[in-house]
Amino acid sequence: MKPSVAGPSVAKLNADLLKKQNVSEESELLLEELYESLSHILAYPEEYEDPVKLIEGLELKLQFLWGFPQDTRYHRYWKYIKGCTCPKVDNEDPMYFGRRITVGDCKWHWRK
Ligand SMILES: [Zn+2]
């Protein structure tokens, strides 16, 4: 059985957004590859040495290819790593924009 990745689908590119952002065909192919890697890391973090850092790097690359500013405050996939117990809804709330709400029992994101 294939484990499903929690959270938003990272498999399909938004065609309207591609057009709006004027994403080149080359970048589109790269985006597809990166989303595939991202899905895999999110679902199987234990196979990577430092999945949290990898995800951060991928999110920055994705922003670049989409033509968005490379800004970690807009990152959204980090909390969908398997086993993450950080709040999902609060981290999407504009009220907390720029901050990451992490919890003490999250093995990936909690830093003392
Ligand atoms: Zn977490």
Per-residue pLDDT of the chain (112 residues; tens, 9 = 90+): 444 444 555 557 899 999 999 999 999 999 999 999 999 999 999 999 999 999 999 999 999 999 999 999 999 999 999 999 999 999 999 888 889 999 999 999 997 7
Distance 20 CA to ligand 1 centre (A): 32
Task: Give me the pLDDT at residue 3, please.
Answer: 47
Domain boundaries, the chain: 15-82
Distance 112 CA to ligand 1 centre (A): 13
Task: Give me the pLDDT at residue 10, please.
Answer: 57
Q: Which residues of 36-50 are buried (b: 16+ CB within 10 A; e: fewer)?
A: eebbebbbebeeeee
Distance 42 CA to ligand 1 centre (A): 12
pTM of the model: 0.85
Task: Give me the pLDDT at residue 11, please.
Answer: 56
3-state helix, strand, coil in the chain (%, to 5): 50, 0, 50
Distance 18 CA to ligand 1 centre (A): 29
Distance 25 CA to ligand 1 centre (A): 34
